[in-house]
Structure 1
Amino acid sequence: MPDDIQPPAREPVLQVERRDYTQLAPEGRARVQPMRGFDPIYTDIVDYIVRCTHRIWDERDVGLIYTHYTHNCVLYGTTGTLYTREEVVRDTIQRLVSFPERRGMATQVIWRGDEDEGFYTSHLVTGTGRHTQNGHLGPATGRTFTSRTVADCMIHENKIYREWVVADTLAIIQQLGLDGWAFADRMARAAFDKGLLSIDIGENRRLIGQMPPEAEPDLSIAHNDLERDTLRWMHEVWNGRMFGRIKDVYAPNCQYHGPLMVELYGQAAVIHQTLGLIGSIPDGAFMPQHICSTPSEEGGIKIAVRWILEGHHMGYGILQALGEPTGKRLQVMGMTHLHVKDGKVVDEWRVYDELSLMMQVRLAQMAGMA
């Protein structure tokens, strides 16, 4: 090729926010990034995770799990872990039985990686549906629901080999008019009958012995300065209890999208939601597990953080479904998506499942009685 002729520019990887589903699963689009081993239908990693999720869940082609998950995949959920592909198939079928009209709409995908190291995607989904069939939630209620889920996947050559799913299940239970504690009891009994006495045991890692919280977070999981800065202020807020830092990093008109489909506005609302979660778990230790970021067509950067909050139910806060403090050990698996624009957080999506915490309280009570 002559020096004065440039090769055609490669089309950028898809983004979700401004596109209809037909644009996210295009026909006839050329592949825009190297994806060795992926099915030819997928043109980039966002197309892959949005399209295959749609095909499996909305088109009901559950059998695609056999070509899109490894046989020994591990799926970490808020109420338990699946260790095989066949368990993922069975679990998917059971959920689809109760909600024939369910649709999961991609809200955004934040990702990193390449065909050599593999890809990591954090996929925020807004799900809607109607409970029209008897199934794992009991007799059909006919009611509708809307909830948020984040699924983080590790993918190599067309197959997901590790996945973390945080679904706001209590939001669904409440909208259907069902008894959350009845479901918590059932899940706790199933875990107890398997010999489990708790979800997690061990010393709280926020305070080692009698030492104060560590001044600096572990930044080894970050990939750039913005991710490092994010981990720093999260550590100050969650582990240092410097809740006022939120007003320094969030825009005054920020929007907060929280569990139970809460929609709030402003710095004070974010401060209260964060303070309230720690209020319910006063000794909670916040531990980020993964962070990644991608530029946004809306301007700024989108950041995804997967985290764990561990402690004990020793206070009052926003976890009102738990009732009076029980002192029981709790582990919150959470996902946070942030939109940073002009140096400030303008949107936060925070997802965790209070039903999982209710189950943990019940399991600890069963263990105590035993």
Structure 2
Amino acid sequence: MNETNKVFYGDNSLVNSAIWRDYNDYANLPSKNKQELIGFDPKYKDFVDYILKITHEIWEEKGIGVIYDTYSNDVQLHLSSQTLAGIQGVIKGTLETLHAFPDRKLIGQNVVWAEHYGGALLSSHRIFSTATNLGDSSFGPATGKNISYRTVVDCAVYENRIFEEWLVRDNLWIVEQLGINVHELAKKMALATKNNPLSLQKDFGIPESMEGQFFPDIYKAKDSGVGEMIIEMISNVWGRKYINEVKKYYHENAVTHFICNKELNGHDDIQGMLISLFAAFPNAAVVVDRVSCNEREEKNTWDVAARWRIKGIHEGIGFFGKPSGQKVEFMGINHYTITEDKIKEEWMTFDALDVLRQIYMGIED
């Protein structure tokens, strides 16, 4: 079954938090929760350790060859609006990133995990990175500037190998910190895409919400679990535009860590962000691809990861400026801390630079 077409839930297992600044701090702690890692290398003490350790070895220790040990040859890599196939692309992207940012440090902020079909496991890993731009990159020549940014990576893993990965990175914030004109760069990226049509998704097209002008469905949670609550919130607040119901799902003093290092505090800020974002795509379809949940040791406290897609037309004045009429589709991954059945803290991550690339696809200079 195609995982991206259904919503699944993680079991309510306690999971090791991953809020340490250095992997070694985590590795030296005794494991409280041992998942049965059938077919995995015995050096991994649990699934969270597997995710954190291979990230540390590949990026900070420069053990690029670990990719050959832990990825399937035909791995599927899903980016904001594009899908790549094959381990060669993973190797290439890793080397190019380390060339541009050789001192990159990765702080694992959390790993939310769940079981999957046939003994596979799924993870959602939120990473905060610091780096210095010492080499040329796809963004442009080296600037020597120090940057920080957030990435979230979902992985589907079977017997020690990642066979599917979904990656979102706050590229707009990276480019702004490098001092590059984001609109000029997005135009160049759009032109490169036009010259390479194979880079577009094959199923890219008019979103379902525009066909027949159907109203978006109202979603009713199937049970009282936090996973169903998040699906209901995204479906109704985002998709149905019940922005007023932010007060129903968020604590009054909730904090949302938005892209480009924007901190949103309380109902008014969060509502304002959602209005600005969806003003750009007022009739977009909102699809929840996956929700995973882990219960913490603290009473009635949960870590939740939700992967979603927005498919629509840039037809309104909002977060992305003057409407272009272009079709846009992009993926994002949110992490949540939920206490007392409401969202206390949220991390919202998507690639707004890629959205700008799509917007400029139909605009002539």
Output the TM-score relative to the length of structure 1: 0.88
- Give deviations 1:218-269, integer Å, cap 9, x for gaps: x7xx997321122112211112111010011100111110011111211111
Change (3 A) 1:116 1:24: farther
Match runs of 1:158-169 below 5 Å: 158-169=160-171
Change (3 A) 1:271 1:28: closer
Structure 2 distance, partners of 1:12, 1:245, is 30
Return the offset for 1:40. Answer: 1.6
Code of the aligned partner of 1:212? F
Aligned to 1:346: 344
Q: Which residue, out of 39, 54, 57, partners 2:56?
A: 54
Instruction: Give the % identical residues.
Output: 30
Structure 2 distance, partners of 1:71, 1:97, is 23
Structure 1 distance, partners of 2:157, 2:224, is 22
Return the offset for 1:69. Answer: 0.3
Q: Which residue, out of 196, 216, 219, partners 1:216?
A: 219
Q: Which residue, out of 59, 84, 98, partners 2:86?
A: 84
1:361 paired to 2:359: yes
Return the offset for 1:188. Answer: 2.2
CA contact (8 A) 1:151 1:163 kept: yes
Structure 1 distance, partners of 2:200, 2:327, is 8
In structure 1, the gaps of 5 or more residues are: 1-10
Match runs of 1:7-156 below 5 Å: 13-17=15-19, 21-26=23-28, 32-78=34-80, 80-113=82-115, 116-156=118-158
Structure 2 distance, partners of 1:212, 1:12, is 39
Change (3 A) 1:293 1:305: same
SS of the residue corresponding to residue 209 of structure 2 reads coil
CA contact (8 A) 1:252 1:266 kept: yes
Structure 2 distance, partners of 1:262, 1:194, is 34
Q: Which residue, out of 176, 181, 194, partners 2:196?
A: 194
CA contact (8 A) 2:304 2:337 kept: yes
CA contact (8 A) 1:120 1:154 kept: yes
Structure with the bigger RCO (C-alpha within 8 Å, sep 6+) is 2
Return the offset for 1:39. Answer: 1.3
Code of the aligned partner of 1:34? E
CA contact (8 A) 1:34 1:114 kept: no
Structure 1 distance, partners of 2:60, 2:324, is 40
Structure 2 distance, partners of 1:30, 1:343, is 25
CA contact (8 A) 1:13 1:45 kept: no
Structure 2 distance, partners of 1:342, 1:29, is 27
CA contact (8 A) 1:14 1:24 kept: no
CA contact (8 A) 2:15 2:296 kept: no
Aligned to 2:310: 309
SS of the residue corresponding to residue 62 of structure 1 reads coil
Structure 2 distance, partners of 1:18, 1:129, is 18
Aligned to 1:3: none
Code of the aligned partner of 1:339? T
SS of the residue corresponding to residue 259 of structure 1 reads coil
- Give deviations 1:156-199, integer Å, cap 9, x for gaps: 01100000000000100000101223332333233222225965
Return the offset for 1:113. Answer: 0.8
Taking only aligned residues, the RMSD between alpha carbons, in angstroms, comes to: 2.5
Return the offset for 1:276. Answer: 1.1
Structure 2 distance, partners of 1:31, 1:338, is 21
Return the offset for 1:132. Answer: 1.6
Code of the aligned partner of 1:356? D
Output the TM-score relative to the length of structure 2: 0.89
Structure ID, larger Rg: 1
Structure 2 distance, partners of 1:211, 1:363, is 27
Structure 1 distance, partners of 2:238, 2:122, is 25
